[in-house]
Amino acid sequence: MADRIRWELSNLGSLLGNVGTCEPWLFQIYKPGQDSLWVLINALPGIWPPHDNADPEALKPEAEKVLQEFLASLGEEEGNAA
């Protein structure tokens, strides 16, 4: 799966994911507390449950999967998005 999400570190320590020319972020990976797992949330329309993992890097492919599922819901075929 292509990496369509550009990740950047926020000034608060979370990872912000931008897609295409969309601003602000559509995905965020953050740690809500010292003893918490990292959490992936998104700002896509619809109901997309949050994901969590001890490794924030493991959540990036999950974000790509959510993006692909969202695009498929719009009729986009895998590999055809810009």
Whether a cis peptide bond, with omega within 30° of 0, leads into 24 is yes
Model confidence, pTM: 0.75
Are 66 and 60 a contacting pair, CB within 8 Å?
no
What pLDDT is stored for residue 74 in this prediction? 83
Beta-bridge partners for 52: 39
pLDDT value, residue 55: 95
pLDDT (tens digit per residue) in 43-64:
988 777 889 999 999 999 999 9
**pLDDT score recorded for residue 1:** 47
pLDDT for 80 equals 55
Report yes or no: 4 and 67 within 8 Å, Cβ to Cβ: yes
Intervals of the chain under pLDDT 70: 1-2, 77-82
